[in-house]
Amino acid sequence: MEKFLIKGGAPLEGEIPVSGAKNSALPALAACLLTDEAVTLRRVPRVRDIRTMERLLEHIGAAVERSDNGRVTVQAAALANPEAPYDLVKTMRASSLVLGPLVARTGRARVSLPGGCAIGARPINLHVAGLEQLGAVISQTHGYIEARAPQGLRGARVHFDRITVTGTEDILMAAVLASGETLIENAAREPEVVDLADLLTRMGARIEGAGSSLIRVQGVERLHGADHTIIPDRIEAGTFLIAGAITGGDLLVTGCRPDHLGALIQKLRQAGCELAEPDASTLRVRRPGHLKATDVTTEEYPGFATDLQAQYLALMTQGEGISFITETIFENRFMHASELLRMGANIRVEGRQAIVAGPSRLSGAGVIASDLRASASLVLAGLVARGETLVDRVYHIDRGYERIEEKLARVGADIRRVD
C-alpha cells in the first residue's frame, strides 16, 4: 500500500497550480447522461473519484474519451444498463448523482447506496424525497435504491429540510427534463452547484437562481451537447494556502478563484497571514510572524467549508493560544485529531468541537489517513514536523487531489510517494 514519506521543516516558495474541482466535475459527468449528444468537459482532474465515475458511465452505456490535458468527452447515445453497481461505486459517495439523470432520461434507475469517507451520515433520503416529489416511485432493497417514472417526471415544489449539495445537484438534473416548473427551496449555494447549472444551461436547460437558496427550473423536452470548463477546486486551493501559512513560506496559488475562498481568506488574515491577489486567478500567502489562534465554525457556503476543517485544525496546532474548531456539517469529522496527537499536537475533542492549544512542536511519526481531507491535514502537519512523517492509506488523498506530492515538491516540500 502506497504511503507519503515527508521530511518537515522547509518553507514552501514559488507557484503551485490548482486543478479543476473534483466536486464540480463529478456532477458534470453525471449530467452527460441527460443527452444523447456529445458533451465535452475541460479541466477535469485526474483523481480516483473521477476515474470511478468514468467507469460507471461506461458501465451504464456511455462512451467516454479521455485526453491527457484534462479534457473528457462523454456521449451517452444509449443507456442500456441504468444501474450503479456496488462493486463500482463502493469507494465513492458521488454515485448517488446518477440517480436523478437516469430516472429523468430513461424512467428507471438502480443505484447502490454510496460508500466513500467514514466521516458521518450523508443521508440519501433527501435525494429520494425530492425525486418522489417529482413523481418517481422509489424502493430500497438489498442495499440499492430503485426508482421508476415510466410516464416521466413532473415539475413540483421540492423543499430540503437541510441543505444538501449533492441532493440539490441531483434534483436539479432531474428537474431539467421534468414537465413543467420545479422550485428547489433551501437549495445549496455552493460554487459547484452554480457550475453545474451553467453546464446544464449550455445544454439547453432553463434555470434561474443557481447560487441562491431558491432555484427555479422550467423543464424542457431534451438537452443537447455542450462544451464546458470545470471551475477551479476551491478545496485544493485552500489546502495549498494553508500549506503556505503553516510552513511560513511565500506561496503563489495560481489558477484559483479568490471569490470562492472568502471565509478561509478572512480566517488566515485573522491568524496573522498576509494574503494578496496579484491577479483575478492568483492568491499569494505569506506569514511574516507568529500564527495566532483563531476559532472556526464550519458552515454551508459561503461559510467556512467543512472540507477545509481538518487542514485548518492542523494549522492551529502552530497558533499561539487556544482555538476552538467547531464542526456543524458532519458528526464524525475529527478522526484526524488522534493522529495529530501522535505527532505531538495538543488537542481535546468534545463532541463536535476540537480544542487546540498551541503552538506545538510536532515531530514526525507514522500516521494513518482516515478520509480524504484528514489525509491532507496529516500531510500539512508533516511539512512542519521535525524528522520524518509516514502517511499511510494515501489512496484517500488520491480520491480528491491530483498529484499533490508532485505539486508540493515543486515548491520546496520534501515529500515522496513510497510503497
Whether the Cβ atoms of residue 336 and residue 377 lie closer than 8 Å to each other: yes
Q: Who contacts 410 (Cβ-Cβ below 8 Å, separation ≥6)? A: 14, 16
The whole-number pLDDT of residue 296 equals: 98
C-alpha cell at 198: 451553467
The whole-number pLDDT of residue 142 equals: 85
Q: CA-CA distance, 189 to 400, in Å (whole number)? A: 21
Could you give the 3-state DSSP secondary structure of residue 213?
coil
Domain 3-19+232-418 matches domain 22-229 at the CATH topology level: yes
Residue 322: alpha-carbon gap to chain centroid: 29
Q: Supply φ then ψ for residue 77, to 5 degrees.
A: -65, -40
The whole-number pLDDT of residue 178 equals: 98
> Count of H helices and E strands in the chain?
14, 25
Beta bridge partners of 5: 390, 416
- Which tens digits make up the pLDDT trace of 254-263? 999 999 999 9
Q: Supply φ then ψ for residue 391, to 5 degrees.
A: -95, 115
Q: CA-CA distance, 366 to 3, in Å (whole number)? A: 10
C-alpha cell at 133: 416529489
Query: Has domain 22-229 been given CATH number 3.90.1150.10?
Result: no
Q: Who contacts 109 (Cβ-Cβ below 8 Å, separation ≥6)? A: 82, 83, 84, 98, 99, 102, 103, 145, 146, 147
SS (H, E, C) 56-79: HHHHHCCEEEECCCCCEEEECCCC
Q: CA-CA distance, 176 to 208, in Å (whole number)? A: 11
Closest CA to 282 of 233, 231, 237: 237
Radius of gyration of the chain (CA): 21
Q: CA-CA distance, 388 to 91, in Å (whole number)? A: 29
Alpha helices, DSSP H only, in 135-272?
A: 165-175, 191-202, 234-247, 262-270
**Domain range list for the chain:** 3-19+232-418, 22-229
The whole-number pLDDT of residue 143 equals: 84
Q: What is the mean pLDDT, run by run of 10 residues, along the chain of 419 residues?
A: 95 98 98 98 96 95 95 96 89 85 96 57 76 94 90 97 94 98 98 98 98 98 98 98 98 98 98 97 96 98 96 98 94 87 97 96 95 92 98 93 97 97
- Give the β-pairing of 388-392 and 366-368: parallel
Q: Is 248 left (phi over 0), alpha (psi -120 to 50) or beta?
A: left
Q: CA-CA distance, 224 to 205, in Å (whole number)? A: 9
Omega of the bond prior to 302 within 30 degrees of 0, cis? yes
CATH (residue range 3-19+232-418): 3.65.10.10
Please list the active-site residues: 117
Closest CA to 356 of 389, 384, 320: 320
Could you give the 3-state DSSP secondary structure of residue 284?
strand
- Give the β-pairing of 296-297 and 319-326: parallel
